[in-house]
Amino acid sequence: MNTTQTEALISMVAVLGLFVLMVAPAVIGILRDRRLDRQIRRAAAAPVTGPPDPPAASGPARGTAPRRTARAA
């Protein structure tokens, strides 16, 4: 292998490396979009059970003293 062939090989590897660096984010984005689409389709196809449980009361527990807050002077 002479110098010209070595330089051509190095240049080809450099161009292929740059090509991979430029294309990789697009491929990752496409794969991510496909995964999200699959999850959305699966969630849309899931049967709806019933209404969700009512939220728990946000007040203090029964039998506890009321909490005093600081008042502005």
For residue range 3-46, what is the model confidence (pLDDT) as tens digits? Answer: 999 999 999 999 999 999 999 999 999 999 999 999 999 988 88
Give Cβ neighbours of residue 66 (< 8 Å, ≥ 6 apart): 60
Q: For position 49, what pLDDT does the model report?
A: 75
Q: Are 60 and 66 in contact, with CB atoms under 8 Å apart?
A: yes
Q: Hey, what are 17's tokens?
A: 């490396």
CA distance 16 to 23: 10
Average pLDDT for residues 45-53, to the nearest whole number?
75
What is the per-residue pLDDT across 56-70, written as a single tens digit (0 to 9) for each?
666 666 777 767 777
From the DSSP assignment, how many helices (H) and strands (E) are in the chain?
1, 0
- pTM equals 0.52
